[in-house]
């Protein structure tokens, strides 16, 4: 069977240009901070995190958390923490790095969970945000791209664990594959 390549929605070049811009913005905003804790949310943020962290030039340390709420393209209930980070973030400046914001449930959970640890500041950065009829009432300080409500894959995003390693973001048509 020949491999299926989802049609391109956001090209590798567009992603890399935007990630560079986000990195500059974050570097400017945190210029006066002695250290920034960048928290990547696994698995979806792994490529974005790797690229973004290299485009930020304030002193920074990296942590990871793993969360899950989906099976395939269907939500299977509440957000679950699968792996916590190691660091105690009390009095530290924290930036959450997420792959994609859809309903906002995952980010809402994260913001509550991390705020309770009393960081010095807490902000979030998402590569992609889905346009929704009812806008979310959470603030996302840094957003890479807004896309319509379709299933996106690639650059960390999966459909049933596939396509995460693509360098671009594509539009998944579940009818086109048999897994």
Name the site residues for Mg ion (rule: CB under 5 A).
44
Residue 161, Cβ neighbours under 10 Å: how many?
9
Shortest distance in whole angstroms from residue 129 CB to ligand IMP: 9
Closer residue to ligand IMP in complex, CB, 100/166: 100
Closer residue to ligand IMP in complex, CB, 30/95: 95
Residues 6+ apart with CB under 8 A from 128: 10, 99, 100, 101, 143, 144, 145, 146, 147, 152, 157, 169
The catalytically annotated residue of 102, 137, 149, 158 is 102
Residues 6+ apart with CB under 8 A from 48: 19, 40, 97, 99, 127, 144, 155, 156
**Residue of 28, 34, 10 lying closest to 154 (CA atoms):** 10
99 contributes a contact to ligand IMP by CB under 6 A: yes
Residue 102 is a catalytic residue: yes
Shortest distance in whole angstroms from residue 178 CB to Mg ion: 24
> Taking contact as CB under 6 A, which single stretch among the options 20-28, 58-66, 116-124, 149-157 is the one that binds ligand IMP?
149-157
Residues binding ligand IMP (CB under 6 A): 44, 69-70, 98-106, 151-153, 157-158
């Amino acid at each position: 069977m020949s491999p299926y390549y989802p049609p391109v929605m956001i090209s590798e070049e567009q992603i890399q240009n935007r990630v560079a811009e986000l990195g500059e913005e974050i570097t400017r905003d945190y210029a006066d901070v002695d250290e920034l804790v960048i928290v990547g949310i696994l698995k979806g943020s792994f490529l974005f995190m790797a690229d973004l962290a290299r485009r930020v030039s304030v002193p920074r340390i990296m942590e990871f958390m793993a969360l899950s709420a989906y099976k395939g393209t269907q939500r299977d209930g509440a957000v679950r923490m699968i792996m916590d980070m190691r660091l105690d973030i009390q009095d530290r400046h924290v930036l959450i790095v997420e792959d994609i914001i859809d309903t906002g449930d995952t980010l809402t959970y994260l913001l509550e969970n991390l705020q309770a640890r009393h960081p010095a500041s807490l902000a979030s950065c998402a590569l992609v945000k889905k346009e929704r009829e009812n806008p979310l009432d959470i603030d996302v300080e840094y957003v890479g791209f807004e896309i319509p409500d379709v299933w996106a894959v690639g650059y960390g995003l999966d459909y049933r664990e596939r396509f995460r390693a693509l360098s671009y973001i594509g539009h998944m048509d579940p009818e086109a594959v048999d897994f």
